[in-house]
């Protein structure tokens, strides 16, 4: 991804924001050829969303196939897939109606207050998600048991158009929200803007002029566990010459890389 591609994504975003929300269709495209495995996307996500220790909305799974001299090692970033048929929504809402909803632009929304009042809804959502995308907020702090909690852990932040702090998310479950607060302020998601390998793209699939629409048209794409009918909104490209990546998932990567 060149600098002009970042500029183009901002142009795409500004064009999308001029449309009603129901006319937008947010998607992410990840090029596995360009991911260098530096985990910058995960770190920026943790900082943006004030995540507690041991949690992140993103992971960069690492995997290896075959042996020298044909060793193929690659990195595969993953996050909430914002499925159009989200298993977590159905599972959680059986226990707590409205705990998880789906926006018309494709973003899957967690209602932290409703979820925190129903442990069964939280457990059901986590078990139903096939992408390991849901994390617990147990209320821990990195600077706990030190002279004071640092401001970067106690500051306010924004998720799903709401102003929050860690006291309001303690005891609930959390996940990627495509940086909705940034999108509606005219900024691309933190992970996309931070990726030093320029491996990630974001935009409006309903816009045929957008960069993500162009990539999906031109490239062979993979969506994780698509056969399960979840209809994920994260598309992977760049695996054309890798015979095994099409059967790789975050679960298979975790077997070797705990």
- The pLDDT value recorded for residue 68 is 81
Band (pLDDT 50/70/90 cuts) for residue 241 is: low
Query: In sequence order, what DSSP letters do the residues of the chain get, joined into one string?
Result: --HHHHHHHHHHHHHHHTS-GGG--EEEEEETTT-----HHHHHHHHHTTPPTT--S-EEEEEEES-TTS-EEEEEEE-----SS-HHHHHHHTTSTTSEEE-TTS-EEE-HHHHHT-HHHHHHHHHH-TT---EEE----TTTTSSS--HHHHS-EEETTEEE-HHHHTTEEE---TTHHHHTTT---HHHHH-TT--EEEEETT-TTSHHHHHHHHS--B-TTGGGT---SEEEE--TT-SSGGG--HHHHHHH--
- The pLDDT value recorded for residue 258 is 38
Band (pLDDT 50/70/90 cuts) for residue 242 is: low
- The pLDDT value recorded for residue 2 is 55
Q: Please tell me the least confidently modeled range out of 116-125, 154-163, 165-174, 234-243.
A: 234-243
Band (pLDDT 50/70/90 cuts) for residue 131 is: very high
Q: Look up the pTM and report it.
A: 0.88
CATH of the domain at 110: 3.30.70.20
Q: What is the pLDDT of residues 170-220, one digit of tens each?
A: 999 999 999 999 999 999 999 999 999 899 999 999 999 999 999 999 999
> Mean per-residue pLDDT for 35-41?
93
> Mean per-residue pLDDT for 82-89?
98
Q: How many domains does the structure of the chain reveal?
A: 1
Band (pLDDT 50/70/90 cuts) for residue 65 is: confident
**Could you list the residue range(s) of the whole structural domain that residue 129 is in?**
3-256
- The pLDDT value recorded for residue 255 is 42
């Amino acid at each position: 991804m060149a600098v002009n591609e970042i500029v183009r994504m901002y142009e795409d975003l500004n064009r999308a924001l001029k449309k009603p929300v129901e006319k937008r269709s947010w998607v992410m495209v990840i090029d596995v050829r360009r991911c260098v495995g530096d985990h910058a996307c995960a770190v920026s996500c943790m900082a943006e969303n004030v995540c507690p220790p041991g949690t992140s909305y993103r992971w960069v799974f690492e995997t290896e196939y075959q042996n020298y001299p044909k060793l193929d090692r690659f990195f595969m970033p993953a996050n909430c897939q914002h499925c159009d048929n989200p298993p977590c929504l159905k599972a959680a809402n059986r226990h707590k109606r409205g705990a998880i909803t789906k926006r018309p632009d494709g973003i899957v929304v967690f209602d932290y207050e409703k979820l925190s009042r129903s442990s069964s809804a939280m457990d059901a959502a986590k078990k139903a998600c096939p992408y390991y995308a849901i994390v617990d907020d147990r209320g821990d702090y990195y600077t706990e048991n030190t002279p004071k909690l640092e401001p970067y852990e106690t500051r306010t932040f924004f998720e799903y158009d709401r102003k929050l702090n860690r006291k309001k998310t303690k005891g609930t479950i959390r996940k990627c929200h495509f940086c909705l607060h940034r999108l509606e302020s005219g900024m691309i998601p933190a992970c996309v803007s931070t990726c030093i390998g320029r491996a990630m793209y974001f935009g409006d699939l309903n816009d045929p002029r957008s960069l993500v629409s162009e990539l999906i048209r031109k490239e062979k794409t993979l969506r994780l566990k698509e056969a399960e009918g979840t209809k994920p909104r994260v598309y992977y490209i760049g695996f054309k010459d890798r015979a095994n990546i099409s059967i790789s998932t975050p679960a298979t990567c975790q077997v070797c890389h705990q």
